[in-house]
Amino acid sequence: MAGHSKWANIQHRKGKQDKLRSKMFSKLAKEITVAAKMGMPDPEMNPRLRLAVKAAKSVSMPKDVIDRAIKKSQMGDGADYTEIRYEGYGVNGIAIIVETMTDNVNRTASNVRSYFSKAGGNLGTTGSVAHSFDRVGEISYPASVGDADTVMMAALEAGADDVESDEDGHWIYCSVEALNEVSDALEKSLGESIESKLIWKPQTLTEVDLDTAQKLMRLIDLLEEDDDVQTVTHNFDIPEDVAAQL
């Protein structure tokens, strides 16, 4: 089983998350409300809501904020959101997937297109880059939960497909349909995970130089700062010497 690549660490930059904490809470609350509105308001009876609540808890979102978001879904309050995935290329052909949740499709499409253009990229059609990624479930654990062999055995017994481990932690992958089942099984053997979610996992990574990295990070910053954007996924890797210069 392969070693975990740096793409996830770049995607989940701690400093960026801290800086955009309020915005992150807002996006998580939106996902919780939509998930609860589409199914049962009980996380135990609603797999998507359960994942949303777990994601919120993983970044220490207050319980009362989570409960308020769930209640909002049952009050007929707020806008109806449409989920749209945009696909495009950053500089040097780097593939990028942007998942959005919006109450104004025209506004969101215009904004996303302008971000790509400003950062030297271009927006493609649906499916233009998704073939370079796998849609999978990802369950993450801290390194302290055990060594790579221990986690691998637990993951395989739980029905997972792959495990990636390094000094920062363990990432367990499974099919989309099996995410909740595998997550429950792992919780019994390894304890509660840091996070369980659906992701777009790049099939291959492209290393970039400093100039390319700076342009790509600008594009990602523009996208992540938009209230309609829920997630941004890419297939580039920043070598350690380049990262030190950023």
Same domain, 209 and 124: yes
Which tens digits make up the pLDDT trace of 133-181? 999 999 999 999 999 999 999 999 999 999 999 988 999 999 999 998 9
According to DSSP, the residues that pair with 236 across neighbouring strands are 206
Same domain, 126 and 208: yes
In-domain check, residue 1: no
pLDDT at residue 104 in the model: 93
Which tens digits make up the pLDDT trace of 91-142? 999 999 999 999 999 999 999 999 999 999 999 998 999 999 999 999 999 9
Instruction: State yes or no: pLDDT of 226 exceeds 60.
Output: yes
First to last CA, the chain: 31
**Half-sphere exposure for 20 (CA within 13 Å, toward CB):** 19
CATH number at residue 167: 3.30.70.980
Percent of the chain whose predicted confidence (pLDDT) is above 70: 90
CATH number at residue 45: 1.10.10.200
In-domain check, residue 2: no
Lookup: tokens for 14? 């701690």
pLDDT at residue 72 in the model: 84
Same domain, 41 and 161: no
User: Count of domains in the chain?
Assistant: 3
Type of residue numbered 126? T
Query: What is the model's pTM?
Result: 0.83
Same domain, 208 and 97: yes
Please tell me the distance from the alpha carbon of residue 233 to that of residue 211, in angstroms, as a whole number. 20
Same domain, 174 and 191: yes
Please tell me the distance from the alpha carbon of residue 243 to that of residue 246, in angstroms, as a whole number. 5
